[in-house]
Amino acid sequence: FFMETKKNFSAWVLDVFAAVMVTLFPMLCVKKYTKKSNKNAKKFLPGAKKELQAIEKLEFSAEALAERVWSKETRIELLKKHNRALINDVASAEELEALYGEHATVIDITKALRVYTPSRQLLLKMLHDESYGLIMLQVVRNFPAVVSQLEAWEILGVKKDEPYKGTSWGFARVLIEKEPKAWAVPFMMEVHKIAPRQRNEEALSIWEQAFSEAYSLKLDLSQLIVVMSVLNKEQYLRIVRHYGRYEDFSPYFKAMFSQVVKYLDGTSFDLTTSDVQTFADDTTDAYWRREAFRWLQIGYCLAGYCLADNQIICDVILNNMAEIKCRVDEAVYAQLCERISGVVGDSLIRKAFKLLPAEQCYRKNLLAQALMFDRFGYMLEIFYPFTGMPEAMVRQAIEKMIAYDRFPIERMAELSSDLQTEVFNKMETRAQIGTLECHLSEYFADLKAMKRLQPKAEMHLFEMSDFYRSQKIAYIQFFKMADEVFLQMIKSLKVDHLAELVEAYASRWGLTEEQYIALLQSRVSSTASLVERYVGKDEAELALEEKVSEPEPIGDEAEAKEQ
């Protein structure tokens, strides 16, 4: 409270002192207390009239003016009097309008616009003032970012959907030259709004300039590609013949393919090797037929590349698949189906399954794509029961469906008996692993009622934490693990105290030569000498040896044993 009171009192004293000084000694205030280094400089401003009088009497240099704080009115008056000391400090629309009203030079306007961004209305007023046009043209040339907040149609002085009927394209030409990435396409769109027969030479020149820049920079002209295919065929062909230079050609394909698909016909054509230039006629029909097959071939090629745009292209082709089927010959259609079925991603697999012919080769390709992209098995159910599919793919699909609870148990009877058995084993394995993870103590609660685990569940048990070592040993005493599980266990780096588990297993069930050789090559090869005597023996022989090696009880021990 004391510190806050002290602070408020100090501020009050400063205000009183500033008020007295401004009233009694305005010239001294301007000279001593208005420098920008003084954070309270504004308190010592005596007003525009007295400030201007002080400036005139003290004969401040440009440097002295720039290093001081001034009221807005003073700044405006200085700018109106062509005093350029404050050009780099323009901070309001009124100051900029003062410069503009006095027809300042290009350099002065450019400097002011670099430090102050005017409103849209003021900027448009400056751009469209005929008496100021040449100066603003030079300003835009020197500082094109000044119009970055405007649209192309605003710069031309028309409404959004209104075509430009004038002949002055100066700003457009300068902006396309200086900032082609930002302005080439927008000004092409403005020329496009003008009816073809009403385009003057200046508009056509702007189109050529903008296209040249857009093409060299690989800008997106997909909004204009359909129009260009009719009115600007040479430019259109430059784009489509060199489609490979674009990182993403899908916007062009999406805009154009649906427009030309109706011109496809039953002409024999190989999408891989044929050349569209074989359609050599000069007629309009021949031109559109050629372009239809050109775009079909482009889609076929781009769909096969692992690019970001290939799924968009596949989607466009699938949307037009019914019309394509009606128009092209069977060989072309089969070629296209083969390609699409082998490249669609997860978002299009269902769509392709529905639209492509139900032939085994296409379904096989789609299943392969589903296994690759479908992380959680949502798509695999549409292929069930996998009739005619390769066995390896079927097993992989079933395993993934079971892993994510997507398997249709009610349709189990549709599978062969072998697959039904495999499904049952996989589901039991998954259930057993769930039991081990969540109810391990219950599983080992009654050793006599304990059931043998499936191989994968066995492996899961042995890779569990060493905290469950006693349960692992108990399981080994009751069940002989599968050979493949033993081989996996001695190779796994996740199994703790592997040597102890190997010794317990060998003493209970013996080892085969294959298991012993694998043990010699494992990370616990030192254990081999301890279990060598168990190699080649089965559990019956080991049990007999253990029984023979036990000493006969005598005396009290025999009596106790008999009792």
303 domain-assigned: no
What's the pLDDT tens digit per position in 20-64? 777 777 777 777 777 877 787 777 777 778 877 777 777 777 777
Average pLDDT score over residue span 484-494: 88
475 domain-assigned: yes
The answer for residues whose C-beta is within 8 angstroms of residue 250's C-beta and 6 or more apart is: 302, 309, 310, 312, 313, 316
Please check the confidence at residue 554 and state whether its pLDDT lies above 80. no
Instruction: Specify the DSSP class assigned to residue 510.
Output: -
533 domain-assigned: yes
Q: Nearest Cα to 119, choosing from 81, 89, 154? A: 154
In whole angstroms, give the CA distance from residue 279 to residue 262.
16
Question: Which pLDDT score, from 0 to 100, does residue 342 have?
Answer: 92
Cα atoms in the Cβ-side hemisphere of radius 13 Å centred on 128: 13
Instruction: Check the CA dihedral 182-183-185-189 and report its sign.
Output: positive
Using 50, 70 and 90 to split pLDDT, how confident is the model at 8? confident
294 domain-assigned: no
In whole angstroms, give the CA distance from residue 492 to residue 498.
9
Please check the confidence at residue 195 and state whether its pLDDT lies above 70. yes
Residue 285 CB neighbour total at 10 angstroms:
11
Q: Which residues pair with 330 in a beta bridge?
A: none
Give the total number of structural domains in the chain.
1
Q: What percent of the chain has pLDDT over 70?
A: 94
Instruction: Specify the DSSP class assigned to residue 454.
Output: P
Q: Cα dist. 43→212, 280, 468, 473 in Å?
A: 58, 84, 79, 88
Please check the confidence at residue 162 and state whether its pLDDT lies above 90. yes
- Give 1-29 as a DSSP string: -HHHHHHHHHHHHHHHHHHHHHHH-HHHH
Average pLDDT score over residue span 296-303: 93
What's the pLDDT tens digit per position in 388-433? 888 889 888 888 888 888 888 888 888 888 888 888 888 888 887 7
Give the ranges where 116-200 is alpha helix by DSSP (H): 120-127, 133-142, 152-156, 170-178, 180-192
- Give 204-245 as a DSSP string: HHHHHHHHHHHHHTT---GGGHHHHHHH-HHHHHHHHHTGGG
Question: Which pLDDT score, from 0 to 100, does residue 234 have?
Answer: 94
User: Which of 26-40, 176-190, 293-307 is most confident?
Assistant: 176-190
In whole angstroms, give the CA distance from residue 210 to residue 204.
10
536 domain-assigned: yes
pTM recorded for the entire structure: 0.72
What's the pLDDT tens digit per position in 434-474? 888 777 777 787 777 778 888 888 888 888 888 888 888 88
Domain extent for 503: 423-562
Using 50, 70 and 90 to split pLDDT, how confident is the model at 512? confident
512 domain-assigned: yes
Mean pLDDT for all residues in the chain: 84
67 domain-assigned: no
In degrees, rounded to 5, the angle at the alpha carbon of residue 178 between the alpha carbons of residues 171 and 181 is 105
Q: By mean pLDDT, which of 107-116, 199-208, 476-485 is the weakest? A: 107-116
Question: Which pLDDT score, from 0 to 100, does residue 551 have?
Answer: 53
In whole angstroms, give the CA distance from residue 136 to residue 141.
8
The SS3 assignment for 35 reads strand
Based on DSSP, count helices (H) and strands (E) in the chain, helices before strands.
Answer: 33, 0
> Would you say 285 and 311 are in contact if contact means Cβ atoms under 8 Å apart?
no
Instruction: Specify the DSSP class assigned to residue 481.
Output: P
Q: By mean pLDDT, which of 90-99, 117-126, 151-160, 243-252 is the weakest? A: 90-99
Using 50, 70 and 90 to split pLDDT, how confident is the model at 548? low
Phi (first) and psi of residue 167, to 5 degrees: -120, 0
Please check the confidence at residue 383 and state whether its pLDDT lies above 60. yes
